[in-house]
């Protein structure tokens, strides 16, 4: 019985303390934190522009918290309204970050479009300078395969040796490809990278992925929607020729572009 008494008394005392004095110091700290945050957002023009209502609410909640702080035993209310005020200030400043990002995005998007147009013009110019002679080299094959549909092969010579970078002679092919995709807006493509069997399997797989990705990047830079471009690397699988000769290996190092039909149905990956 005695023990129960003691426990009950402690519990009640705890309850009183919780709502009463023990919270005072803590609630003062919360109030101070809310004040500091409100001061910060109150004079920030970007915050005021992006979330004026939240700033007003932060001020109102702070006023209520300050009002309660004058009364004994209301530290829980002080804490509560200080908390709300702090949250409103935080929400307001988060919205201002968002607005700043959005404005930056809009500016960068214009810049991107300008650069994209410049790149297209530059590539066109370089193609005109190169003349027709290299045409054959670039598109070694565009053919229809029974199970895969229309396939275009970008040969190894379009890439810098052993890297994923496309060289200038790839421009004509890529521009043609872009033109074709713009004329056929529903068609999508899968860009598949292949390698020869020299070096480790992992390296070959990586190079094949990187080359396919590079082609996708350039197509995207020239204005093709990323959603229309699938990228797949096959490493040294599916060779076109034997890997024993230099010529065979050269044929195996390639990027193939598989086209969907006009409805956008693409054959499944190998």
Judged by the rule CB under 8 A, the positions of this chain that interact with another protein are 1, 4-5, 8, 11-12, 15, 80, 83-84, 87-88, 90-91, 94-95, 97-98, 101-102, 104-105, 108-109, 111-112, 115-116, 118-119, 122-123, 126, 168, 217-218, 220-221
CB of 105 to another protein, least distance (A): 6
Q: Which is nearer to another protein, 95 or 148 (CB)?
A: 95
CB of 248 to another protein, least distance (A): 30
CB of 123 to another protein, least distance (A): 7
Between CA 6 and CA 260 the distance in angstroms is: 80
> Helix (H, G, I), strand (E, B), or coil: what is residue 5?
helix
Q: Which is nearer to another protein, 108 or 162 (CB)?
A: 108
Q: Which is nearer to another protein, 36 or 98 (CB)?
A: 98
Q: Which is nearer to another protein, 85 or 204 (CB)?
A: 85
Q: How many CB atoms lie within 10 A of CB 221?
A: 16
CB of 92 to another protein, least distance (A): 9
Between CA 259 and CA 188 the distance in angstroms is: 6
Running DSSP on this structure, what letter comes out for residue 192? E
Q: Which is nearer to another protein, 115 or 162 (CB)?
A: 115
Q: Which is nearer to another protein, 106 or 141 (CB)?
A: 106
Between CA 100 and CA 108 the distance in angstroms is: 12
> What's the half-sphere exposure (Cβ side, CA atoms, 13 Å) at 32?
6
> Helix (H, G, I), strand (E, B), or coil: what is residue 49?
helix
Measuring CA to CA, which residue among 256, 33, 69, 22 is closest to residue 150? Answer: 256
Q: Which is nearer to another protein, 84 or 266 (CB)?
A: 84
CB of 112 to another protein, least distance (A): 5
CB of 194 to another protein, least distance (A): 24
Surface-to-core class of residue 223, CB atoms within 10 Å of its CB (0-12 exposed, 13-18 middle, 19+ buried): middle
CB of 137 to another protein, least distance (A): 19
Residue 198 CB partners (closer than 8 Å, separation 6+): 204, 243, 249
Q: Which is nearer to another protein, 87 or 176 (CB)?
A: 87
CB of 209 to another protein, least distance (A): 17
Convert 102-140 to b/e letters by CB count within 10 Å (16 or more is b). eeeeeeeeeeeeeeeeeeeeebeeebeeeeeeeeeebbb
Helices and strands in the chain: count of H runs, count of E runs: 9, 5
């Amino acid at each position: 019985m005695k023990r129960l008494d003691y426990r009950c008394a402690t519990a009640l005392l705890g309850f009183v303390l919780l709502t009463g004095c023990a919270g005072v110091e803590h609630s003062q700290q919360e109030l101070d934190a809310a004040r500091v945050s409100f001061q910060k957002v109150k004079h920030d023009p970007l915050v005021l522009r992006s979330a004026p209502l939240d700033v007003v609410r932060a001020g109102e909640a702070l006023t209520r918290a300050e009002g309660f702080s004058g009364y004994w035993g209301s530290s829980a209310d002080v804490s509560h309204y200080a908390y709300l005020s702090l949250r409103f200030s935080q929400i307001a400043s988060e919205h201002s970050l968002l607005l700043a990002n959005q404005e930056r995005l809009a500016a960068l998007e214009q810049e991107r479009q300008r650069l994209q147009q410049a790149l297209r013009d530059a590539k066109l110019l370089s193609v005109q300078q190169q003349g027709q002679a290299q045409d054959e080299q670039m598109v070694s094959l565009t053919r229809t395969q029974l199970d895969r549909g229309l396939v275009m092969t970008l040969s190894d010579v379009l890439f810098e040796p052993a890297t994923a970078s496309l060289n200038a002679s790839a421009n004509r092919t890529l521009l043609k490809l872009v033109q074709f995709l713009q004329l056929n807006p529903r068609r999508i493509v899968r860009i598949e990278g292949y390698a020869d069997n020299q070096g480790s399997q992992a390296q070959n797989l990586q190079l094949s992925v990187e080359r396919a990705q590079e082609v996708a990047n350039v197509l995207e830079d020239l204005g093709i929607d990323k959603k229309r471009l699938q990228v797949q690397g096959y490493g040294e699988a599916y060779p076109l020729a034997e890997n024993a000769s230099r010529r065979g290996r050269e044929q195996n190092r390639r990027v193939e572009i598989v086209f969907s039909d006009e409805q956008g149905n693409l054959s499944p990956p190998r």
